[in-house]
Amino acid sequence: GDARIGNMMFDDDFNVVAVMDWEQPSLGGALNDLAWFVVIAETMHGPNAVAGAYLEGMGTREETIERWEKVSGKSAADIEWYEQFTHLKMTCTGVRLGQLRGQHMMDEATMARRLGVD
**Residue 2 pLDDT > 70:** no
Angle between the N-to-C axes of helices 30-45 and 61-72, in degrees from 0 to 180, rounded to the nearest 10: 160
Greater confidence, 91 or 43?
91
Local structure of 19: helix, strand or coil: strand
Cα(29)–Cα(67) distance, integer angstroms: 17
pLDDT tier, 71 (very low <50, low <70, confident <90, very high otherwise)? very high
End-to-end Cα, the chain, rounded Å: 41
Q: What was the pLDDT predicted at 64?
A: 93
Cα 39 vs. chain centroid, distance in angstroms?
4
Q: What was the pLDDT predicted at 88?
A: 92
Per residue in 5-46, pLDDT (tens digit) is 888 899 999 998 988 777 777 777 889 989 988 998 888 776
Pairing of strands 16-19, 8-10: antiparallel
Q: Set out the domains of the chain in order of their start, with CATH numbers.
A: 5-115 (3.90.1200.10)
